[in-house]
A and B are shown apart, each in its own frame.
Chain A
Amino acid sequence: MKKMRVLFLLLFFSAPALYAQEVRTLLQQVKAKYDKVNDYTATGKMKTNVIFIKAPVATVKVYYKRPDKLKIKNESGVSFIPKGSANVNMNNVLGLSDYEAVDGGTEKIAGISCRVVKIFPLSDDESITRSTLYIDETKLLVMKSVISTKENGTYELLMSYKQYAEWGLPDKVELTFNTRDYKLPKGVTIDYDNGSGKDKPEDAKNKKGKVEIAYSSYIINKGVPDSVFN
């Protein structure tokens, strides 16, 4: 009876450590898949949905180079690119070396059952303070991530995969982020009052902004010059 009690206590206290080990293994498997990509140049269409920005759909190029260089460029026009777009690169989280990983159970994302993994970087030097990844365990793909940063708030990324799934590269990314109120001092712009401001149902305070990039093509592992990221 005494032996049974000891065995039970041992199992009870070691279970979290076993789960943590399990999610670490899962993260390593996902990282191994994402590590197949050294660099890429992707072309896509970017939609900006921010309450105070009216922008056309932009054709953008996304440049990536391991471990953490990512640049979104609108080469034929003007776009306001959210600073958190660097987190589109999953290596920002998967590349962490010193972290705690906690199993958060399972949750369905776009109908797919995903393992929820909460990651807490231990180093004070990391720009990320915490991150939650929703991982499709069968395909080893990150379907959703919520990343909190020290300087730029919290970003939520929702990814969907099709033809580039084997590389861990999404066909569509939706980036949701916090926005600040936009208001210029009265009398600066001397706006024409066309009545459009009177029926605005809500002000822009504390609203979420969303940027959606639908990728049309990737050029993978063909080299990207460093000058692109300057």
Chain B
Amino acid sequence: MFIDLLKIELFKIFKRPRTFIAFGAIAVIILLVQFALKVNGKDFVQFYTDSQADTFDIPYEKILNGYFVCVAVLHMILIHVPLLVALIAGDMISGEAGLGTLRLIAGKPVTRTQLILAKFSASTVYVILLLVWMAVFALLGSMLIFGTEDLVVFRETDMHIMKSGDVLWRFFAAFVFAALALTTIAAMALMFSVFSENSLGPIVATVCVVIVFTIVQQLRVPVFEETVNPWSFTTHMLGWKGFFYVDKNAEGATIAGSVENPESLVRSGLILTGYIVLFLLISIRSFNKKDILS
């Protein structure tokens, strides 16, 4: 029965033309970034390496490879994808309420909990498909256009170089983690959706919450860094980047297959899972108590 519900919800999502706006937008953004880096990629790399150009010979052409471009694309795009997820997940309950079909589906011989879980699962499938689409364009596309080489990841105070053979599993792990992060957004948008009678409110509320917490995180002032940031989901949503921070041995050489701080990734994953469970429990409890009038 649950699978049937899920199929119905997926049908509803992919029947709407606006669902495909997200796929189109992602493809256009990625192609634009790839084009820009193909034309002016050296300038882009120079921005990160300029302070060391007097000390080292910088292999600009080698740094600008498909893996590097994919990380750059993900860095630019993943901050904005929550908006695209909110567009769909924020509409899941409130959209039905707005159309007047919520009472109809609540009257089916399924529990409201099953209904919420089906809508959440459908949102998760949408998130995963969005990331697979992103992987095809950003990773495979960049590999085809720019070729493959060792991956250099620039951080604020250091840079990490990974052998090309030690990179693909990191992308896979990063995409899985990004799916978890975006599912958190989907769960939050779904929760807001339960309390609303129109789609716009939950979508705007979700985007506003993400913006507020992202700004609080980026302010990087001690008062927030010690209190809000350790528990803010926007802090942990960046966990996908952690798979590109490599550990080194006592001699300073990187260890193949390592990540700098796996414990923090596990912690971030657990915190995001906790948020998903919390948002789902609130959604289920509220929806079960909801007096459906539309």
Chain A residues with CB under 8 Å of chain B are 47-57, 74, 77-83, 151-152, 177-184, 186-197, 204, 209-210
Contacts and interface: CB of A to CB of B under 8 A. Distances in A.
Contacts of B284: none
A183 B156 contact: yes
Contacts of B55: 82-83, 152, 177-180, 209
Nearest to A153: B55
Nearest to A193: B235
A180 B241 contact: no
A205 to B, nearest CB: 11
A182 B158 contact: yes
Contacts of B21: none
Contacts of A182: 51-52, 157-159
Given A55-B253, A189-B154, A190-B79, 11 more contacts: A54-B252, A56-B150, A77-B161, A179-B55, A181-B51, A190-B75, A192-B239, A193-B229, A193-B238, A194-B245, A196-B245
Interface stretch (B80-88, B135-143, B257-265): B257-265
Contacts of B18: none
A217 B182 CA distance: 52
A182 B229 CA distance: 25
B265 A194 contact: yes
Interface stretch (B56-64, B102-110, B113-121, B188-196): B56-64
Q: Which of B166, B242, B256 has the most CB of A within 10 A?
A: B242
B56 A55 contact: no
Nearest to B218: A187
Interface string B156-180: 1111111110100000000000000
Contact of B54 (A49, A78, A180, A183): A180
Contacts of B264: 194-196
A49 B254 contact: no
5 contacts: A77-B62, A77-B161, A78-B63, A183-B157, A210-B252
A82 B56 contact: yes
Contacts of A50: 252
Interface of B: 48, 51-52, 54-59, 62-63, 75, 79, 149-150, 152, 154-164, 166, 218, 220, 229, 235, 238-242, 245-248, 251-254, 256, 260-261, 264-265, 268
A186 B261 CA distance: 21
B243 to A, nearest CB: 9
Given A77-B150, A180-B55, A190 B218 contact: yes
Best-surrounded residue of A78, A152, A209 (most CB of chain B within 10 A): A78
B260 A79 contact: no
Nearest to B57: A81
Contact of B245 (A152, A177, A192): A192
B160 A54 contact: yes
Contact of A191 (B149, B155, B251): B155
Nearest to B61: A78
Contacts of B59: 74, 78-80
A56 B52 contact: no
Q: Which A-B residue pairs are the 8 nearest by beta carbons?
A: A49-B252, A194-B264, A78-B150, A192-B241, A192-B238, A194-B261, A52-B158, A80-B56
Given A184-B48, A194-B242, A194-B264, A189 B54 contact: no
Contacts of A78: 59, 62-63, 149-150, 152, 161
Report which residue of A77, A190, A192 has the largest number of chain B beta carbons within 10 angstroms of its beta carbon: A192
A183 B246 CA distance: 18
B156 A184 contact: yes
A179 B52 CA distance: 8
A191 B51 CA distance: 19
B52 A80 contact: yes
Nearest to A195: B264
A188 B156 contact: yes
Contacts of A53: 158-159, 161, 252
B54 A55 contact: no
A47 B260 contact: no
Contacts of A74: 59
B51 A180 contact: yes
Contacts of A197: 157
Contacts of A49: 251-253
Nearest to B229: A193
Contacts of A180: 51-52, 54-55
A77 B164 contact: yes
A52 B52 CA distance: 11
